[in-house]
Amino acid sequence: MHLDKFDPAKSGRTLPRLAKAALGTILLFGVGSVAMAQNMVMRSTGPSASSYPAGKKMANDAKISLKAQDQVTILTKSGTRVLKGPGTFSLAKGGGSASTASRRLSSFISNRGSSRARTGAVRAAGAAAVETPHNPNLWFLDVTKGGKFCVADADALVVWRPDYTGSATASIVEPENGNVTEIAWRKGSALKAWPKDVLPVTDGASFRLLGSNVPQSVEVNFVVLQNQPTDLDDAASMLIENGCSGQLDLLVDTLNLNNDESADQG
């Protein structure tokens, strides 16, 4: 993936260094050696959602009883598992392979541009459909998503845009004083360094973002993590504890990406 440079007048650093920091040092997972969580609820919807809140951990011999319309996504030592009610499920049975989950997560974390997310036509039921680009890194700030955003490294924040087919800009508005700072992507580039020299990334800071190719602005609230997560379980727990639901959804969706296994149904 081609990365734009900072304005030389503001910084002599280039985005490749920042991308390396974001991809190589933030998580410290290690390719091919991803530590998997053991039975932690990642997402829960339906009438039994309150019984299985995100972040709840369960023993390997636990059983989960679900009602109709319930759906629970669980992170296990062998990957993600989606349970759909009604029915009773044992966590000791089923689940994907650890190697498959490890490969997916390693690709997600260590992506250095060799297989960038792209928009294109794909065949679906005999007709062309548009494939939605996928954010290639858990710590890239999606210019189209608002809410709380967990920052693992305040010095290496990168802004990502889904549509990189043309050049684009984004306005970053400071709510307190209305000051506007613009960043720009050139055609074919999806990444841009956050202008930290002008807008330092601090815990609790809020900004409104409006991309030139985005239908509406979004408000982002930064949560700067005090400690960098050391494994998948730790990362998921931090996202849940700090309310960074957009990144948690991205993590779950990435783990489930290209998963050919159907959900467990009662």
pLDDT tier, 94 (very low <50, low <70, confident <90, very high otherwise)? low
Query: How high does pLDDT run on average in the chain?
Result: 76
pLDDT at position 31 is 35
pLDDT at position 34 is 43
Of the listed ranges 29-43, 217-231, 235-249, the one predicted with least confidence: 29-43
Write down the H helix ranges in 155-226. Answer: none
Q: What is the mean pLDDT of residues 109-120?
A: 38
pTM: predicted TM-score of the whole model, two decimal places:
0.71
Residue-wise pLDDT for 159-188, tens only, equals 999 988 899 999 999 988 999 999 999 999
Does 140 have pLDDT greater than 60? yes
Q: Which residues of 36-62 are buried (b: 16+ CB within 10 A; e: fewer)?
A: bbbbbbbbbebebbebbebebebeeee
The answer to whether 6 touches 15, Cβ cutoff 8 Å, is yes
Q: What is the mean pLDDT of residues 61-89?
A: 87
Neighbours of 91 (CB within 10 A): 20
The answer to whether 171 touches 150, Cβ cutoff 8 Å, is no
pLDDT at position 264 is 76
pLDDT at position 225 is 93
Residue-wise pLDDT for 142-157, tens only, equals 999 999 999 988 999 9
Query: What is the DSSP secondary structure assignment for residue 77, as one 8-state letter?
Result: T
pLDDT at position 92 is 78
pLDDT at position 91 is 83
Residue-wise pLDDT for 194-220, tens only, equals 999 999 999 999 999 999 888 899 999
